Every structure is written in structure tokens, then in C-alpha cells.
A and B are shown apart, each in its own frame.
Chain A
Amino acid sequence: MEILLNNNIEFIDAEAISVQELLLYKNFTFRMLVIKINGQLVKKDQYTSAMIHHGDQVQVIHLVSGG
């Protein structure tokens, strides 16, 4: 399938994957993330259940300390 990850086209060899699997696949090791699929917020406790499908727009926003 093909998804749009942070505005870049990404090919993934699967019909659907969970958010957690995407993070592992992309080696996103940052701990503090805000994730949206097609503009909808995916909360931290939904990372294993929320599924990503072909054509989805996924945004993974990495947060760092300082304010």
C-alpha cells in the first residue's frame, strides 16, 4: 500500500498496519509523539489498535522539551 507520511509518499508491503507497527518500521524511536491519521488524532493508548490503510495521510509529530 501507499500512504502519505508527513507529506512524503511511503510504500509499505502490507495491506494495513497499526500505528505501533509503522513506528517500528520507520524506526521512530522518539517517545513523545502526536499522531494524526487523516486529520484525526490517535491517542497514545490507541497506537496498537489504530490501523493505517492505503491512501491514508499520516502525520507523526515529534515533541521535544523546552518552554
Chain B
Amino acid sequence: MNDALRAHLVKKVVGIAGVGGLGSNCAVSLARIGVGKIIISDFDVVTRGNLNRQYFFEEQIGILKVKALKMNIFRIDPHIRVIAHAEKVTPENVAKLFDEAEVLIEAMDLAREKQVFIETALGLWPDKPIVAGNGVAGWGFNEALTTMKYGNLYICGDAVSEVSEELPPLAPRVSIVANMQANQALDLLMADFDLSMYTME
């Protein structure tokens, strides 16, 4: 099964908008299962404060997140192609950055950025699935984390926990939601998987 799965996923392209807590963890999971091409875009650099949840290392502080993530994925699997854009995702560049992606991961920080990205991408490609992260802050409340489907827009998280001084983003919940996004993306990528390849092995 694993060979057939990898042969299927190596042909796939996923785009990730933002590689902070959600995007970096999601990208690493998609890389581990062998998604062939991962397009990432983020303008930010790694800070010490990021290390409580984002898939970076202390010696990467000060480096562009997309560059650091590309290096980290290379160390996991050098065959994964990571297309790294050191750009802030805006309505103007979404089409150029992510046209090739079959599935989009929304992993931006601010609600405003999430809203703009989702509206822009849905406007450009009404049929391209978007998997967004919404409501990740704090700890506990495993039971509140879920995935809502609105047509081809999938929203993972608890839909209410906004980041604040009292409710910081922390590795456990952020990583869970990042991996819910990866799992949802995988499900979408598997829609055209030929099961006969598996049964013939």
C-alpha cells in the first residue's frame, strides 16, 4: 500500500499560504507522506517566540521561514520539491503563486488575512479546494476541534478561540489543527487514487 500511495502522491502539488504554526507543521506532514511538490509563501523570519509551536530550530532564528522550512523538509526527504516564495501573500499575487496547486492550505495569521485569502482564492478558482485553519489558540478542548465543510472550503479548528494575551497559540493545539488540515488535504488528494493498484500488489 505504501508504495502505491507514494506513487500517487508524488504527482501532487499543494500550496500553503503562510508558514507559521499551521503552515510549517502542515507542510512537514505533507512532505513526510511524499506529496511531490509543495509551494510555500511567507515573508517573515524565524523568531525565538515562534519555537513554541512552529517547525523551526533555534539555529534558524533570523532566517526567512520559507528558507528554513525548505531546509527542514530537505532533511526529512530530499526528493520533495519545495517551491519557496519569500513574499507576503496578497490578493495580487495569489494567482501567480498558487495556480499550479491542486489543494490550497490557508495558514495565515490574522483573521483579515484569512478572509482576504479565502475570498481571493475562491474567486479565482471556484473548484479548487481550500483547507483553512480557524480557532487554534489556548489549550485543552480537544472535543471542540473539528472540520466544517462549506462546498470546497474546509475549515479546521474550533472556530472561536482567537489568539490574545490570555490565549496564546501553543504547539499542541496548533499542531493538531495543522495536521487536521494536512489530513483533510490528503483526503482530497486521494480522491482520484486508483484502489486497484493496491489490490494488485
**A67 and B122 contacting across the interface, CB-CB below 8 Å:** no
**B150 and A59 contacting across the interface, CB-CB below 8 Å:** yes
Q: How far is the CA of A61 from the CA of B159 in the complex (A)?
A: 9
**B151 and A67 contacting across the interface, CB-CB below 8 Å:** no
Q: How far is the CA of A65 from the CA of B148 in the complex (A)?
A: 17
Chain B nearest CB: distance from A67 CB in Å?
A: 4
User: Interface code B109-140, partner A: CB below 8 Å = 1, 0 otherwise?
Assistant: 11110110011001100100000111111000
In the complex, whether B60 has a CB less than 8 A from a CB of chain A is: no
- B126 — which chain A residues lie within 8 A by C-beta? 41
Contacting chain A: which of B16-24, B31-39, B80-88, B193-201?
B16-24
Inter-chain contact count A-B, CB under 8 Å? 78
Q: Interface size on B (CB < 8 Å)? A: 36
Q: Interface size on A (CB < 8 Å)? A: 17
Q: Given A36-B151, A41-B123, are A64 and B115 also a contact pair (CB < 8 Å)? A: no
**A64 and B162 contacting across the interface, CB-CB below 8 Å:** yes
Q: Given A64-B159, A67-B22, are A32 and B119 also a contact pair (CB < 8 Å)? A: no
In the complex, whether B107 has a CB less than 8 A from a CB of chain A is: yes
- B23 — which chain A residues lie within 8 A by C-beta? 67
Show the binding face of B for A, using Cβ within 8 Å.
18, 20-23, 107-112, 114-115, 118-119, 122-123, 126, 132-137, 148, 150-151, 153, 155, 159-163, 169, 174
Show the binding face of A for B, using Cβ within 8 Å.
31-34, 36, 39, 41, 43-44, 59, 61-67
- Sample (30) of A-B pairs whose CB atoms are under 8 Å apart: A31-B112, A33-B115, A34-B115, A36-B150, A36-B153, A39-B151, A41-B119, A41-B123, A41-B126, A43-B119, A43-B123, A44-B115, A61-B148, A62-B159, A63-B114, A64-B111, A64-B134, A64-B160, A64-B161, A65-B111, A65-B162, A66-B133, A66-B136, A66-B161, A66-B163, A67-B18, A67-B20, A67-B108, A67-B109, A67-B136
